[in-house]
Amino acid sequence: MSAKRNPGHEAWRQHGFAVAHRWLIARRAAQAGFFLLFATGPWLGVWITKGTLASSLTLGVLPLTDPLILLQSLVARHPLGTTALIGGAIVLVSYLLLGGRLYCSWVCPINPVTDLAAWTRRKLGIETDWKVKPETRLWLLVAVIAASAASGTIAFELVNPITTLHRGLLFGVSWGLVTVLAIFLVDVFVARHGWCGHLCPVGAFYGLLNHGAMVRVSARGRVRCDDCMDCYAVCPEMHVISPALKGERSGAGPVILAADCTACGRCIDVCPERVFRFAHRFDTRLDPPSTTTTARPASMTAATAAE
């Protein structure tokens, strides 16, 4: 259980804090960076990106619009504006190529909230888990589209905690932020990765754009895996790991191809054996078993020496 409560501890001890947190730090920097593009305008008067995640204009030339919001607008029978269509197409194509769920782990402002909830949950050793199927979010996505069509409105934007948080930070704090608190509490006390992993219809939508994602994590050094389970403990979508990590028996490649993987890179950070690394989806390279014989004793001696 201690490994579960403290995944990444071993990697930290062996490789140092910076290495054991490098992608986490990069991701927080990216999240902060994407937010600051919007925030320097209202906060400092330096306008880089105007608007919100729903729709924005960067440097006065680049329009970007959330394709899920456009889809709701479309089923609500609004003939879309040209700028929004161009902006939506740019976002759609980019995420289709790179991987839709990169949005979840590298851009979405709710991610730090749910990551904090997951961390709190691990530290408090909370085991309660309301069993919700991960597919629930797909049904919720269908429900959101149906509600938009039935009411003739962009329905999810009335409650969307992602845009509420983003808008609240940029335009003034709103009561809508209680939904963010609700998500935090649900993730800590009710269901493990309840929001991002099971309920969020936005994540479900971006998951649909993730089936041909180029940016992937590869378990290239899977021969070195010593089953410490740290990667499973930190992974927000833990079912995606096994097919690649344990793919040797079934003859599967080392790349995590499951569309649920958000490419957050936490598995890369926490693995003391350096099994994982970022790769593209066609990168089937595997570390030769020979490295095992040199690497494993080295790490084991390091571990024993530390103990």
Partner 1 sequence: MSDAATSRPDKSFDPKRRRALQDMAKGVAGAAACGVLLAGVAEQSKALPAVTLRPPGALPEPDFLSACVRCGLCVRDCPYKTLKLAEIGDGPAIGTPYFIARDIPCEMCDDIPCVKACPTGALAPTLTHIDKAKMGIASLVGRETCLNMLGLRCDVCYRVCPVIDKAITLERTHNTRTQRHAVFEPYVHSDACTGCGKCEKSCVLEVAAIKVLPPALATGEIGAHYRLGWEEKKKSGGKEAVPGLIDLPDRLPEAPKLDVPQLPDGARLPELPK
Q: In whole angstroms, what is the distance from residue 224 CA to residue 91 CA?
A: 38
Q: In whole angstroms, what is the distance from residue 289 CA to residue 248 CA?
A: 12
Output 31 or 65, the one with its CB closest to partner 1: 65
* Structure tokens belonging to residue 222: 């899977």
Q: Any contact of residue 59 with partner 1 (CB under 8 A)?
A: no
Q: Any contact of residue 152 with partner 1 (CB under 8 A)?
A: yes
Q: Any contact of residue 51 with partner 1 (CB under 8 A)?
A: yes
Q: How many CB atoms lie within 10 A of CB 258?
A: 17
Pick from 157, 187, 230, 237 the residue near partner 1 by CB under 8 A.
Answer: 157
Site string for partner 1, 62-91 (x = CB under 8 A): -x-xx--xx--x--xxxxxx-xx--x----
Output 70 or 255, the one with its CB closest to partner 1: 70
Q: Is the dihedral of CA 116, 119, 121, 127 positive or negative?
A: positive
Single-letter amino acid, residue 240: V
- Three-state DSSP at 147 gives helix
Q: Any contact of residue 60 with partner 1 (CB under 8 A)?
A: no
Q: Which stretch binds partner 1 (CB under 8 A): 94-102, 120-128, 148-156, 295-303?
A: 148-156
Q: Total residues at the site for partner 1 (CB under 8 A)?
A: 53
Smallest gap from Cβ 204 to partner 1, in A, equals 10
Q: Where are the alpha helices (DSSP H) in the chain?
A: 2-5, 9-15, 17-20, 22-44, 67-75, 82-98, 102, 111-124, 136-151, 161-171, 178-185, 194, 201-208, 230-234, 241-245, 247-250, 266-270, 290-306
Smallest gap from Cβ 141 to partner 1, in A, equals 8
Q: Any contact of residue 114 with partner 1 (CB under 8 A)?
A: no
Beta-bridge partner residues of 277 = 218
Pick from 25, 32, 59, 150 the residue near partner 1 by CB under 8 A.
Answer: 150
Contacts of 76 (CB under 8 A, 6+ apart): 148, 149, 151, 152, 153, 154, 155
Smallest gap from Cβ 116 to partner 1, in A, equals 24
Pick from 40, 153, 292, 299 the residue near partner 1 by CB under 8 A.
Answer: 153
Beta-bridge partner residues of 215 = 280
Q: Which stretch binds partner 1 (CB under 8 A): 136-144, 242-250, 281-289, 299-307?
A: 136-144
Binding site for partner 1 (CB under 8 A): 41, 50-52, 54-57, 63, 65-66, 69-70, 73, 76-81, 83-84, 87, 133, 135-136, 139-140, 142-144, 146-148, 150-159, 163-164, 167, 170-172, 174-176
